[in-house]
Each structure stands twice: as structure tokens, then as C-alpha cells.
Amino acid sequence: MCISDFDAYNDFRTMTFPSPRSAALSFGMLLSLAACDPSDAPDVEKAISDLEKQKLQNSAPPKSSPQPTTPASTPPAILSATGLSAKDERAEIILLLPDTRIAMQAFQSNGLAMLVGRKAGYKLTTSDAAGSSTQQIEQLRQAIAAKPAAIILSPIDPPALAALIVEAQTHGITVIGLDKRMLNEGCASVVFTDQRRVGRMAADTVVEALKRKAAEENRAEITGRVVQLRGSADSYTSSELAEGFSEGLRTQPGIILVHDAPADWSTDTAAKCTSEAFSLQKNFDAIYAQSDAMAVGAAKAAEAAGQRDSIFIVGTDGLSGQKRGLDLVRLGELDASVVQPALVDLALHIITKMRTDKTFKPQPSYEIQPVVIMPKNVEQMFRTGTYKLPPL
């Protein structure tokens, strides 16, 4: 029988008046969870989960010896998970990412390294453009020169890479894109999640919380004051998330976006931006952060202002692992998160199937749907995983 941790919320969230947060959590606690199913979590989630367990095992002292004579071994660096020598002849996969300072991209890099490390005959190289389109163009040139089996590419500026993608294809290199904008750039296939849909799902989650608040207060009108924390002021992903979020809020005229600020994907910057919002707006009902790291910063600022229990906070990414999105919702530190599928796990499936099954031709694109994590489904997601991979 599955036992949830929701009873622990009762002492933590005792409110003397309704709030969007307490209304949403009360609603979630009233819903029963599905029966325990065998785990069929996406590959990246399994890999990261296994890594977390390995770290815990390696850092814990042996039960038979409370005073070990030698320190526990340190796990190898993630990017060295393949354990390859410089002259290894295994087929190479190169992953090109825009900026691994962003938590989601670091998760993609780490998770793919773990997955490739478990596959016989493959090795992985990862390059980080640190936010520079010029640097990513050069990295793609270098990747083509290395003649790998495949390149997995998350672009900063897709049109700037189009000619190089065609060049890679002429050299027999499989290129898998990780962005909807690459659909017409010559990739063998594109794996993506619609960022506007992610933002819209975050807005829908906020709207539902405010609807429940209005119902508890016996109000017919749905109202609320909302703050948005963007990752950056000018990135494509941030703009798409923000547009989707605005679309969702516009379904309820009484819900107003009162503050919108870039927080550089940073927990500390998000805390500062939220503190500034409090000084300008005094109070509000909900915060949407475009990453869970920023949502944590917002929660800290709300706690410092004495308003955490009255504010519903939604993050983005829903990553697995300790003190990441999935765990943060489970612990009650965030009220919800919208899962950003890792994408690299499906990209790896496509590459390996193309190499082992010469009759297989991937579809031009595969869209992986985002999912909302809330208290009512978080325990189920821990058992079965968050998102589902489409069949090849």
C-alpha cells in the first residue's frame, strides 16, 4: 500500500483566512492517489536518481565500521561518467548546449552522460557555449571536424547554425535538434517541448488556485495579483514562457500581472527581485518563476516578508534529485512546478535506433508534453516518473 506524506502538511499550513496557497493545498490533500505502479520513469530521471543514491552510499560510513580507516570514495565527475581513455574508439556523441549555468541544461548534460556511460560502444563529449552564439557556431564546426556518430544540438540562434547542420549531414553525421525552431534547419529529427505550452500550464495552475480561493471566500469573481520572474530579459525560452503565461492569465480579467522582472535564472537574484516586488506592490497572491531555482529564491523572500503562507508559488523544470523541483513540491517548499522534459533521453534513443536498425527513419519531430507537479500527484510521480516519451 502506498503511503503519502500529505499528513505532514496539516500542522504546517494552518491558516486563519483563505489564501490561494492554502486553498490549492487543501484541494490536493482531498484527492486520493493512484495505486503504486512499477517505476517507468524517463531514462534521465532514472539515471539522476541512481546517481543521487550512489552519492549517498559513497558518502555514508559503512554500517560495520563507524570509524572507517579510509575515507569513502568520491564519485567520478559526471562528465567523466563514460570512463573513456583518450584513444577510445567507441562511437562518439557530441552534445552542444547554450549555457550549463542554467539548471535545466546542467541536468541534460549530467543525465545524458550517465545514460551514454551505460551504453556499450558509445562515448559522450559535451560543449557549453556559455550563452554565446558565436562560440556555439565554432563549437559546432569543431564537432563536425571530430566526425562523431551524432550531434545533439540545443541552439542559441538556429538560423546561424543551418549551413553547418547541412554540412554535418553531408558528412554522414546524424544531427538531432532540441528546439522547435530547428524544424526546418536540416536535422534528422527534432525533439522539443513547446515553451508557450509550459508557460500556459503554469498560468492555468495559478488560475485554478485563485478560483479555489474565490470559492472559499464565496466570491463569484476570480481575482488575483501575480508576479512573474523571468530567466532573462532577451532569451527565446524566457519570451516564449512569458507569452504562454500571459495568454493563460488573460482568460481571467480579474487576475493582473503586477510585476515582471528578469532574475538571471539565479536563486539569489530571484530573492532580490521578489523583495523589490514586495516594496513596490506590498502584497500579491501568486508568483510564477521560470525555473525552480528562482522559485526557491522567491519563496525565501516571501518567507522573510512574512507572507509565504498566503502566496502560491509555481516553478518550472520539475527536475528529479535532492532539493530539485520534484523534491521541493514534495517537501512543500514550492506549491507546484511545470516539468520541462529532458529531451536528451529521447534524442539518444533515436540515435541508437538509427545505428542499429538501418530501416528506421525517425519522424521529422517528436513533441514531449510538459506536466504539472502538485501535492496531489507528486508521490505518484516519484514512483512512475514525470513525463512520458513518445514511441519511435
For the ranges 4-18, 51-65, 343-357, which has the lowest average pLDDT?
Answer: 4-18
Residues 160-165 have a mean pLDDT of: 97
Return the closest-CA partner of residue 101 out of 231, 230, 273, 192.
231
> In the structure, what pLDDT confidence band is assigned to residue 33 with cuts at 50, 70 and 90?
very low
- In single-letter form, the type of residue at position 70 comes to T
Distance CA 22, CA 169 (A): 54
* Burial of 21 (C-beta count, 10 Å sphere; 0-12/13-18/19+): buried
> In the structure, what pLDDT confidence band is assigned to residue 50 with cuts at 50, 70 and 90?
low
Residues 5-22 have a mean pLDDT of: 39
| Residues forming a β-bridge with 287 | 227, 313
Proportion of the chain above pLDDT 70, given as a percent: 78
> In the structure, what pLDDT confidence band is assigned to residue 296 with cuts at 50, 70 and 90?
very high
* pLDDT at residue 61 tops 60: no
Confirm if 139 and 145 have CB atoms less than 8 A apart: no
The DSSP element (H or E) to which 230 belongs, if any, is: strand 224-230
Alpha-carbon 265 to chain mean position: 12
Ordered by where they begin, the domains of the chain are 43-51+89-193+342-369 (3.40.50.2300), 195-339 (3.40.50.2300)
* pLDDT at residue 52 tops 60: no
Q: With b meaning 16 or more CB within 10 Å and e meaning fewer, what string describes 242-263?
A: bebbbebbeebeebebbbbbbb
> In the structure, what pLDDT confidence band is assigned to residue 19 with cuts at 50, 70 and 90?
low
Q: Give the pLDDT score at 282.
A: 85
Residues 376-383 have a mean pLDDT of: 93
- DSSP state letter for 297: H
Confirm if 164 and 188 have CB atoms less than 8 A apart: no
| DSSP per-residue codes, 239-288 | HHHHHHHHHHHTTSTTEEEEEEEE-TT-HHHHHHHHHHHHHHHS--SEEE
> In the structure, what pLDDT confidence band is assigned to residue 162 with cuts at 50, 70 and 90?
very high
Q: Give the pLDDT score at 32.
A: 30
**C-alpha cell recorded at residue 119:** 551504453
Distance CA 392, CA 379 (A): 28
| DSSP per-residue codes, 75-143 | PPPGGGTT---TT--SEEEEEEES-TTSHHHHHHHHHHHHHHHTSTTEEEEEEE-TT-HHHHHHHHHHH
Angle between helices 158-170 and 133-145 (to 10 degrees): 0
> In the structure, what pLDDT confidence band is assigned to residue 45 with cuts at 50, 70 and 90?
confident
* pLDDT at residue 54 tops 90: no
- For the chain, counts of helices (H) and of strands (E): 13, 12
309: left (phi over 0), alpha (psi -120 to 50) or beta: alpha
Distance CA 215, CA 24 (A): 11
Query: What is the SS3 assignment for 228?
Result: strand
CA dihedral over 99, 97, 298, 274, signed as positive or negative: positive
100-148 pLDDT, tens digit per residue, is 999 999 999 999 999 999 988 999 999 999 999 999 999 999 999 999 9
Maximum alpha-carbon separation in the chain: 71
192-243 pLDDT, tens digit per residue, is 999 999 999 999 999 999 999 999 999 999 999 999 999 998 899 999 999 9
- In single-letter form, the type of residue at position 240 comes to E
What is the signed CA dihedral for 12, 16, 22, 26, rounded to 10 degrees? 80
Determine phi and psi for 227, rounding to 5 degrees: -115, 140
* pLDDT at residue 188 tops 90: yes
**C-alpha cell recorded at residue 364:** 521529422
- DSSP state letter for 190: E
Return the closest-CA partner of residue 198 out of 262, 289, 132, 278.
289
Distance CA 148, CA 351 (A): 12
- DSSP state letter for 332: T
Confirm if 133 and 153 have CB atoms less than 8 A apart: no
